[in-house]
Structure 1
Amino acid sequence: MDHPTYASPSTGTGIDPAPVAGLSGEVLDWRFKALPADAWGLTAEEYLATKPSLSGFGTPLLTLDAGALDHNLRTMAAWCAEAGVLLAPHGKTTMAPALWQSQLAAGAHGITLANLPQLRVARAFGVDRLMLANTLLDPAGLAWLARELTADPGFAFVSWVDSPESARLMDRALRAAGAGRPVEVLVELGGPGGRTGARDTRTAVETAEAVRAAPSLRLAGVAGYEGALAHDASGPALATVREYLRRLAALHRLLADRYETPEPVVTAGGSAYFDTVAEELAPLAQEFPGTRAVVRAGAYLVHDDGFYQGISPLSRGAGRTPLRSAMHGWARVVSRPEPGLALLDAGKRDLPFDEGLPRPQLVRGPDGPAGAAGTVTALNDQHAFLRDGGEAASLGAVLRLGLSHPCTAFDKWTLIPVVDDADRPEPRVTALVRTFF
C-alpha cells in the first residue's frame, strides 16, 4: 500500500474533530484553577451556555482574546502564502488540540512537536501530519511510533537526525520493533554554540549516507533551528541567522540527488526569523522542483506584549499587518506593606517570566478599565512585586498584565478562558481551551 510522504498534500482535516469536540463534554471541577466554583459539576459546554463574564473568575488568571487569535491566524496564513512557504506550527507552544485544529483549518500543513509525550497527545487527537523537531532514540518510543505508522496508513511523519550513530540507533530499534513502514528523517544541521545538529557539512553528509543505508529509514530532507544562534533583531544577529540558513540551503543542494522521496523538505524558522528563512529557503522550490520549504513558527498564534512583540518579523516590517497579543494575565493587589510597593497574587506558578516580567496595562473596576502604572520588578512563586503603582493599585484592585513568551505561559494552565474582547469593560468568556502538558 502506498503511504503519504510528509510533504505530500493532505487529503483530510489534519486532526480528528471528534475528540476535540469531545472536550466540550468534560466535567469541570477543582482541578482547573482558572474556574470559579459555580462551574463545578457542569460540562464545559453547559458552563459556557450560562454566558459567564470575566468578573466571575478569580485571580490569578490567564486569558486569551478571541479577536486577536482570529487576527493572528489569518495574518500568518496570508503571509506564508505570499512568501511561498508551508507552515507547520510548533504545537508545544500551546499543547492545545483545539488551537491546533484552528491552525490546521487556517491552512497549516501539519503540526511540529518536540518530544515523545507531545507526539502521543497529538496522536490521541488524530493529528495526521507531524514533524518531530528532535531525534527520537528511545527504543520504547520508536516501537510505539512503528505501531502508529502501521496502524494508520494515512499518518505522515518525519523526524530529525544529526549523526551517523543516531541513524544507526534509530534503525536498530525500529527493526527490532518490526517496523512495517520506513520512517522519514531529515538531516539536522546545527551551528557553533547552538543546540542539536551536525556542526559541519561533512558530518551532515555522513549522516545522510547512514540514513540511506538504514532499511527502516528514508532520507527526506534537511532541517535546522536558527533561533538557537541569535536572540535579537540587531544587524549582527540577523547576519548570523542568514549565514546559517545559507549553509542549510547549500546542504540541501548537496543532497538533492540523494533524497529518497520526490518531495524533500527543507525546514527552519521559529517565531523570530521566519522572514529570513523564507528569503533563503523558499527559492529552493524553484531550483529543485518538488522541494517543500517549511517554517515552524509556533508563537505567532498567541504572540505577546514582550519578547515576540519586539522580535517577530511581523513587528519588524516583514508584513503589512502586525500580529496582536492574544494573552493577558490578571492579578489582584493583596498587600500594600510599605509605600510604593504592592503585592499581586500571581507569580512564577501562574505567569511567564523567562523572557521578561509582566507589565501592568490597566485596572479593572466598576466604572470600566482605567490606566495602570508601575513596574513589576520581581516574581516569587505566588506573588508579583509591583513598584510605584500609585493609587490605582489599591488593595483589592485587579490588574490586567501584558505578558512575554507564550511557550512558558500555557504550561501553567490546564484550562484557559477565551474572552470576546479583553479591552471591553466586562469581557465575556466564549470558550475554554484545554491544554495537555
Structure 2
Amino acid sequence: MSLAVPDEHVDWRTKGLWQPAPVSLREFAAARHPLFGGPFTWPVMVARRTALEHNIAALAGFCAEHGLAFAPHGKTTMAPSLFRAQLDAGAWGITAATANQVLAYRMLGVPRILLANELLDPTALRWLGGEVDKGMDFLLYADSPEGVAAISAAAGERPFRVLVELGHAGGRTGCRTIEQLTGVARAVTAAPGTELAGVAGYEGGLPDVPSAAAYLQALRDATIALSPLLPREVVVTAGGSAYFDQVAERLAGDWLPGHDLTVVLRSGAYVSHDDGLYTEKTPFNRVPGSLDAALEIWAQVTSVPEPGLAIVGMGKREAPYDAGLPVPLRVRRPDGTVLPAEGLRVTGTNDHHAYLAVDGPAPRPGDLVCFGISHPCTAFDKWQVIPVVDDDHTVTDLIRTYF
C-alpha cells in the first residue's frame, strides 16, 4: 500500500529533537542516531518498532481468524506511516472521527474511509459529495432525520453510502431504540442522494463484558429487524479496543440470510497499546493473544528537592493524564546503567513537570526515567514527530502525525 506522504522535515520546531537546521525525515532516520547521545533532548516520546509490528500483526491475525474486516481507527495516531503498515497487513479501510480527519485521509490517499459519526456540516458534506462523485470509497453514519437531510442536501451525482447507528442508554450517539433506527433507515432509503449500506454501533464505553455483549446482541437483532430495508451487500460495524472479542463472538459469521455480510471491526488504540488503561482492558486478557506497549517517554530528573520527592521534566504537554498517569518503568544513570524504577510513582503533573513519589533509592538530577503511558489516543496528539527505536534504542524511523 502506498500513501501520498508529504516530504516533511524536522528542525527547531520539532519537540524532542535537537535539530536547529532542517533535515528531511528520511535523512534523519537514515542516520540511525542513538537515542542516548544523539540529537535528542528531554522529554521525548519514542515508539518501539518491534512492539508496533507485533501489535499490527496481532489484530490482523485476530480479524482473519474470526472472518472480520478491519478498519482501525486512525484518530489514535493520525500517522500515515502507521496507516500504511495497517493497510499492508490487510486492513479493509481506516476509520475517522471528524470531517478534518477525513480530509487528511483523502489527501494522504487512504483508499477506503469510514466516518464513525453523523456529519451535519454543509461545507464538509458538499466537498465530500464531490469526492464521492470522483470515486471516493466512503461511508458515514446517520442517527437522525436531520442528519439524513443534511447528507441528502449535499449529495452529488453519486449517493452517499450511509450506516444507521444504534446507540445505548447513557452512551454517545446512535438511536436508542429499534423503532428510531428503523425510522432513520427509512429516511435514508427515501431521501435522494443517500443509500442504506448497513448498521453501526460502538460498545467501547460500556462498563463490562456482559453489558458489551448484550449491546452487541441488540445490534445484531436490530440489523435482522432492518433486513427488508437493507441491500444485498451489508456492512455491520462495531468495536473499540476493549471488547473486540465480544464483537467477534456476537457479530462474526453468516447470520443475515439473503445478504452478503461484511462485519468491520474499528479498534484503534491496539496499535501502540499502553502500560495503563488498555493493559487492564485488552480482550487478550480473556482470549489467546497479546499486545505490547510500544510508547515510552524518556524524561530527565531536574530536581530532588526533599526526601521522598523527585521532579521530572515531563508534564501534561508531553504525556497523557486523562485515563491514568504515566508509569515509571526504568531509570537510566548518566553512565548508561539501567535500573528498574522500583518505588517510584507519579502523583501529579503540571504543564511541564511531574511529581515523582520516591519510596526507596532516590534518582538523582540528570538521571533519565522511562515512563509508560496510559491511553494512546491522548499521547500521539502531543507529538508531531515520534522516533521509532529498535530494542537497543537506535532510531530507525520517524512517525509524523497530522492532528
TM-score past 0.5 threshold: yes
Separation in structure 2 between the aligned mates of residue 137 and residue 335 of structure 1, nearest angstrom: 50
Verify the 8 A CA contact 1:193 1:229 in the aligned structure 2.
Answer: no
Separation in structure 2 between the aligned mates of residue 299 and residue 253 of structure 1, nearest angstrom: 30
1:44 maps to what in 2?
25
Which amino acid in structure 2 is aligned with residue 297 of structure 1? Answer: S
1:135 maps to what in 2?
118
Verify the 8 A CA contact 1:90 1:112 in the aligned structure 2.
Answer: yes
1:351 aligns with 2:334: no
Residues 254-293 of structure 1 aligned to structure 2 (within 5 Å): 254-260=225-231, 262-285=232-255, 287-293=257-263
Please report how far the alpha carbon of residue 370 of structure 1 lies from its aligned counterpart in structure 2 after TM superposition: 1.2
1:370 maps to what in 2?
339
Separation in structure 2 between the aligned mates of residue 80 and residue 287 of structure 1, nearest angstrom: 22
2:199 maps to what in 1?
222
* Structure with more of its chain in strand, by fraction: 2
1:296 maps to what in 2?
266
Residue 258 to residue 286, structure 1, CA distance change in 2 (3 Å): closer
Separation in structure 2 between the aligned mates of residue 384 and residue 288 of structure 1, nearest angstrom: 58
2:145 maps to what in 1?
164
1:330 maps to what in 2?
298
Separation in structure 2 between the aligned mates of residue 387 and residue 247 of structure 1, nearest angstrom: 46
2:170 maps to what in 1?
193
SS in 2 for 1:431: strand
1:90 aligns with 2:73: yes
Separation in structure 2 between the aligned mates of residue 392 and residue 434 of structure 1, nearest angstrom: 36
> Aligned pair count?
399
SS in 1 for 2:183: helix
Please report how far the alpha carbon of residue 114 of structure 1 lies from its aligned counterpart in structure 2 after TM superposition: 0.3
Please report how far the alpha carbon of residue 239 of structure 1 lies from its aligned counterpart in structure 2 after TM superposition: 1.2
Residues 64-79 of structure 1 aligned to structure 2 (within 5 Å): 64-79=47-62
SS in 2 for 1:370: strand
RMSD: 1.4
1:381 aligns with 2:351: yes
Verify the 8 A CA contact 1:95 1:435 in the aligned structure 2.
Answer: yes
Verify the 8 A CA contact 2:296 2:373 in the aligned structure 1.
Answer: yes
For residues 212-261 of structure 1, the C-alpha deviation after alignment (integer angstroms, 9 at most, x for no partner) is 0011101010001111222xxxxxx211111111111011101122123x
SS in 1 for 2:279: helix
For residues 86-125 of structure 1, the C-alpha deviation after alignment (integer angstroms, 9 at most, x for no partner) is 1100000000011000000000100000001101110011
SS in 2 for 1:221: strand
1:53 aligns with 2:30: no
Separation in structure 2 between the aligned mates of residue 198 and residue 317 of structure 1, nearest angstrom: 30
Q: Displaced runs of 4+ in structure 1, greater than 6 A?
A: none
For residues 151-196 of structure 1, the C-alpha deviation after alignment (integer angstroms, 9 at most, x for no partner) is 2x2x21100000123212221233xxxx111000111001110000
Separation in structure 1 between the aligned mates of residue 30 and residue 139 of structure 2, nearest angstrom: 41
SS in 2 for 1:58: coil
Which amino acid in structure 2 is aligned with residue 251 of structure 1? Answer: A
SS in 2 for 1:133: strand
SS in 1 for 2:184: helix
Please report how far the alpha carbon of residue 389 of structure 1 lies from its aligned counterpart in structure 2 after TM superposition: 5.6
Separation in structure 1 between the aligned mates of residue 26 and residue 253 of structure 2, nearest angstrom: 46
Separation in structure 2 between the aligned mates of residue 214 and residue 258 of structure 1, nearest angstrom: 13
1:234 maps to what in 2?
none
Deviates most, 283-292 or 54-63: 283-292
Please report how far the alpha carbon of residue 392 of structure 1 lies from its aligned counterpart in structure 2 after TM superposition: 4.9
SS in 1 for 2:229: coil
SS in 1 for 2:28: helix
> Which segments of 5 or more consecutive residues in structure 2 lack a partner in the other structure?
none
Identical residues among aligned pairs (%) = 46
Separation in structure 2 between the aligned mates of residue 49 and residue 114 of structure 1, nearest angstrom: 33
Please report how far the alpha carbon of residue 287 of structure 1 lies from its aligned counterpart in structure 2 after TM superposition: 4.3
Verify the 8 A CA contact 2:42 2:299 in the aligned structure 1.
Answer: yes
Which amino acid in structure 2 is aligned with residue 300 of structure 1? Answer: Y
Separation in structure 2 between the aligned mates of residue 394 and residue 247 of structure 1, nearest angstrom: 56
Please report how far the alpha carbon of residue 288 of structure 1 lies from its aligned counterpart in structure 2 after TM superposition: 4.9
